[in-house]
Amino acid sequence: MTITASTPRPVGDTGLTLTALGIGSAPLGGLYADVSRDQALATLECAWNLGIRYFDTAPMYGLTRAEHLVGHVLREKDDSYALSTKVGRLMTTERHGRPLPPEPPKNPLDPGFVNALPFREVFDYSYDAIMRSYDDSQQRLGLRRIDLLYVHDIGPVTHGEANAHHWNALTKSGGFRALQELKSAGDIKGFGLGVNEWEVIRDALEETDLDCCMLAGRYSLLDRDAEDSFLPIAQKRGVALALGGVYNSGILAAPKGGRRKFNYADAPAEIIARVEALREVCDGYGAPLAAAAIRFPIRHPAVTSVVIGAKTPEQLQQNVEWFGTELPDGLWSDLEAALLATKGH
């Protein structure tokens, strides 16, 4: 069966399906550059018109701006969509003369958002915070229905020495219990983690069952970090995976000599060399490197959906075309050989 962008794919036994291609809203919240309201709404409308029915957002994106935008579009649609947002960050602002809480330590994988709304994020993974975050997201979205909740950015890369405290809130102070109750009550269809670290998903599976997780950047054409160590675990446990970051912050989609970002930062020379080796292989087959990058993750049986970000309808249309590109079987083995060769230097 040929998988297209609009192909529905099941999420375990939740009764939920995600389209093979989903749209994330971090770019629409101002990741790297501002996106106007009209442009953001046009991009989301374009996604719908192209058959994409999986929409992902988070309070973090634009400090609540993205949730407002996604909700504005989906409120006018039928119920054929699937929607995920995230918990773990509460948003606050100065009021009644009380100053904002201290800004949390800078997450090395958080480049910040341009033209974000005037809020400060406060990390909290406890029972009460998860419940409040769910209620707050419903109000920002203007929707009664949220299908999936992802615990956002739990893990040592984000939190450093504070991670033990946050992990305790999630596991011992009721964070997972809140998610279990929301699912049992039918308020959500499933929950999981939305992270850049596959190790924390593995650890969470020792605490509770997870339905679907969003993993960014750790299983891509360029970065196979999760391939042998984690994907078999997810498959065995029946955890659906939505894969984000398939372009590794854009380097796999940029034209030769274009923007060189990798994992939200300037790409080092060795990564650029690997990308150019992969590009050379794709050029030999007459295939765009970006098409191989967006198509690569869905080939693994543990992966349910590939989630991409776009700032304009034109970018989104291009992504859908890349996803639908027919690629010869020999390309994959040659790409693997090129990647191994560059890692050997």
Per DSSP bridges, beta strands 17-19 and 265-266 are unpaired
Helix or strand holding residue 266 (H, E): strand 265-266
Per DSSP bridges, beta strands 265-266 and 261-262 are antiparallel
Alpha-helical segments (H) within the chain: 37-49, 65-74, 127-141, 156-159, 163-171, 175-184, 198-204, 231-237, 269-284, 289-295, 313-323, 329-343
Q: Of 51, 335, 67, 314, which Cα lies nearest the Cα of 221?
A: 335
Of 32, 54, 81, 86, the catalytic one is 86
User: For the residues of 12-64, what is the DSSP string, one character each?
Assistant: TTSS-EEESEEEE-TGGGTBSS---HHHHHHHHHHHHHTT--EEE--TTTTTT
Alpha-carbon distance 242 to 306, whole Å? 6
Residue 321 DSSP code: H
The count of C-alpha atoms lying within 13 angstroms of the C-alpha of 217, restricted to the half-sphere facing its C-beta, is 14
Active site residue 56: yes
Active site residue 264: no
Of 32, 54, 56, 264, the catalytic one is 56
The count of C-alpha atoms lying within 13 angstroms of the C-alpha of 281, restricted to the half-sphere facing its C-beta, is 27
* Residues whose CB is less than 8 angstroms from the CB of residue 296 and which lie 6 or more positions away in sequence, other chains included: 220, 221, 246, 332
Active site residue 261: no
Of 54, 61, 134, 219, the catalytic one is 61
Alpha-carbon distance 55 to 228, whole Å? 28
Say which amino acid occupies 269: A
Per DSSP bridges, beta strands 212-216 and 190-195 are parallel
Say which amino acid occupies 256: K
Q: Please state, in angstroms and as integers, the Cα–Cα distance from residue 28 to each residue in 172, 192, 307, 342, following that order.
A: 35, 23, 14, 34
Active site residues: 56, 61, 86
